Amino acid sequence: MDVSERGQEPSGKALATSPGALAGLRVIDLTRVLGGPYCTMILADHGAEVIKLEPPQGDEVRDWGPPFLDHDDGTRDASYFIGVNRNKQSVGLDIGTPDGRDVLLRLLAGADVLVENFKPGSLEKWGIGYEQTLAARFPRLIHCRVSGFGAEGPLGGLPGYDAILQAMTGLMSINGDPTTGPLRLGTPVVDLATGLYAAIGILMALHERGSSGRGQFVDMTLHDCGMALLHPQAANYLLNGRRPVATGNPHPNLAPYEKFRTATCEIFLAAGNDGQFRRLCAELGLAELGTDPRFASNADRLANRADLAARFATALAAEDGHALALRLLRAGLPAGPVLAVDEALAAPHTAARAMLTELGAYRGLGTPIKLSRTPGGTRTPPPRFAEHSEAVLARNGFTAEDIAALRRAGVLPDARRR
């Protein structure tokens, strides 16, 4: 049951306490893996009804472990799936069959949004492409496709994966330092960014539909979203024509803006303007650096970055980094300890901001979107495969006989096919 329903006494952390800003929005989710599911979880966190139609094999990231959450019936789901699929309903459906596609079309009749990440051209082969069929049949439908490269262009129709797009869009080339060579970012930033941009695009299309009454196609690609993350390196290159290089922790445009070791931990310090730099020097007992002509402007500091970093390193070596970072923050200066993931999850401010959520055995990251009147949050844990097939179809006009026939035909699997 949805924990945000009236009269319900939720027990957990960072649970939804309102129907949500997107209550009443129905989303048919044909996505798998990460970018698409991350997008639809954002919508679900804020009240959209998200019906996740899984192929007979299920979303493959249910197997991307360990770690796994083991269920009483002997099935299990990997953390990778659990992390991006809360607040959804799962229906097992084989849309590769004519009967399965008929079920999809019946569900779309009551939907606002379709999100899918099939290879471009797949829906067209089945006779249900957007321009081919869906736009005329469902004129108010927002159809969002997430793909690697889109349908057109030299790479149109080819598959895309996060690390491959990190490599191809230049993101790897600016990560790491001169000794490491290009490095993949540890988080799947292209997939996650594509999910975020897709959610934004869907909400834009919904807003426009309010005035026009018409749906539209939202074409999201990992390639485009990866390119969109190249700031400030792309802006630098487009202005000066020099190929950006990996600088490691130091910022390519600012100094100081890097990591330093203290007696207790590493900390990151930053100064965004000259006044901030002088105040930082004073707080660190280095007031003389604030009047040194070698460091007078940011351009000067970039030119003399090595000398500046050496002075800072000496001054910070004996400090308690945690205490120093907090003191600098309270003085209005950017600073923070370099925390491991477990330390960041356990930090008091993480709890204060409701960035950890729990419901039963489910634990995950909370929603970062904080709305005052219509807050989102966890309503239901990530679904088991096909957990809601019968309930969803019954709500959408399928009789018990219809459902039984679909099961007999193998269109509506109750267990994952291996």
Q: What is the pLDDT of residues 21-62, one digit of tens each?
A: 999 999 999 999 999 999 999 999 999 999 999 999 999 999
Dihedral pair phi/psi, residue 82, rounded to 5°:
-60, -35
The CA-atom distances, in angstroms, between 166 and each of 33, 149, 159, 170, 225 are 17, 13, 14, 6, 10
DSSP-derived 3-state class of residue 258: strand
Q: Is 191 a catalytic residue?
A: yes
Taking every pair of Cα atoms in the chain, the longest distance, rounded to a whole number of angstroms, is 84
pLDDT reported for residue 7 = 42
Specify the residue for token string 């469902």: 138
pLDDT reported for residue 2 = 58
pLDDT reported for residue 1 = 44
> 45: which 2 tokens?
């966190």
pLDDT reported for residue 6 = 40
Q: Whole-model pTM? A: 0.94
Residue 304's nearest CA partner among 250, 259, 267 is 250
> 105: which 2 tokens?
């079309």
pLDDT reported for residue 42 = 98
Helices and strands in the chain: count of H runs, count of E runs: 17, 13
Running DSSP on this structure, what letter comes out for residue 295? G
Counting Cα atoms < 13 Å in the Cβ hemisphere of 41 gives 28
Question: Which residue numbers in the chain have pLDDT < 50?
Answer: 1, 4-8
Q: Do 179 and 247 contact (CB within 8 A), yes or no?
A: no
Q: Do 270 and 334 contact (CB within 8 A), yes or no?
A: yes
Catalytic residue selected from 191, 274, 292, 342: 191
Specify the residue for token string 């190249």: 230
Residue 267's nearest CA partner among 313, 210, 303 is 313
CB crowding 139-156: b at 16 or more within 10 Å, else e:
eebbbbbbbbbbeeeeee
Which residue(s) pair with 28 in the sheet? 51, 114
Specify the residue for token string 């002075």: 311
> 155: which 2 tokens?
């790479």
Running DSSP on this structure, what letter comes out for residue 13? B
Ordered domains of the chain (ranges, CATH): 26-229+352-408 (3.40.50.10540), 266-337 (3.30.1540.10)
Kindly give, in sequence order, each residue whose CB lies less than 8 Å from that of residue 272, ignoring residues fewer than 6 positions away. Answer: 254, 334
Residue 133 class from Cβ within 10 Å (0-12 exposed, 13-18 middle, 19+ buried)?
middle
pLDDT reported for residue 286 = 96
Running DSSP on this structure, what letter comes out for residue 165? H
Distance (Å, rounded) from C-alpha 150 to C-alpha 156?
5
pLDDT reported for residue 10 = 56
Q: Do 226 and 190 contact (CB within 8 A), yes or no?
A: yes
- The pairs formed by 147-151 with CB atoms below 8 angstroms and a separation of 24 or more are 147/117, 147/118, 147/119, 147/120, 147/220, 147/221, 147/222, 148/221, 148/222, 148/223, 149/221, 149/222, 149/223, 150/120, 150/219, 150/221, 150/223, 150/224, 151/120, 151/121, 151/219
